[in-house]
């Protein structure tokens, strides 16, 4: 497996890290497990932002996975370039989550745009 494919694996699990933060900060109890989505929707502050970061992570992961797979299938891009782009994307997602939790809205949006640009880059380097 390439580094880029391992990054896809990491991206798949990043939303659950955000869920864990939301539940830990929000005071989740195992007895709340009867309706965890209702619990998550009732959060405020950092816990609510962690939940929002989780949702955004679920939204962007398929695009990242597809971009990595396309780059591998086309095979015209240097593997090193694909691996570096993937690591940069994961780094951008970690920064995005940190910005979301810290409520740095403008920086968070800039980091989001960087991440989307990295996804597009997989297609451009594969031409």
pLDDT at 21: 94
Q: Residue 41's domain spans which residues?
A: 3-125
CATH classification of the domain holding 53: 1.20.120.550
pLDDT tens for each residue of 79-89: 899 999 999 99
Give the global pTM.
0.93
pLDDT at 95: 98
pLDDT at 4 over 70: yes
pLDDT at 117: 98
3-state secondary structure of 83: helix
The token duo for 77 is 């891009």
Domain count of the chain? 1
- Give mean pLDDT, residues 114-126: 95
């Amino acid at each position: 497996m390439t580094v880029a494919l391992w990054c896809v694996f990491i991206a798949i699990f990043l939303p659950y890290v955000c869920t864990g933060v939301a539940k830990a900060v929000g005071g989740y109890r195992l007895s709340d497990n009867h309706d965890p989505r209702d619990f998550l929707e009732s959060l405020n502050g950092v816990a609510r932002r962690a939940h929002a970061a989780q949702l955004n992570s679920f939204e962007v992961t398929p695009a990242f996975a597809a971009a990595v797979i396309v780059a591998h299938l086309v095979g015209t891009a240097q593997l090193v370039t694909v691996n570096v782009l993937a690591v940069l994307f994961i780094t951008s997602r970690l920064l995005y989550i940190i910005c979301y939790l810290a409520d740095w809205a403008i920086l968070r949006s800039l980091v989001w745009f960087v991440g989307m640009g990295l996804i597009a880059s997989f297609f451009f380097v594969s031409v």
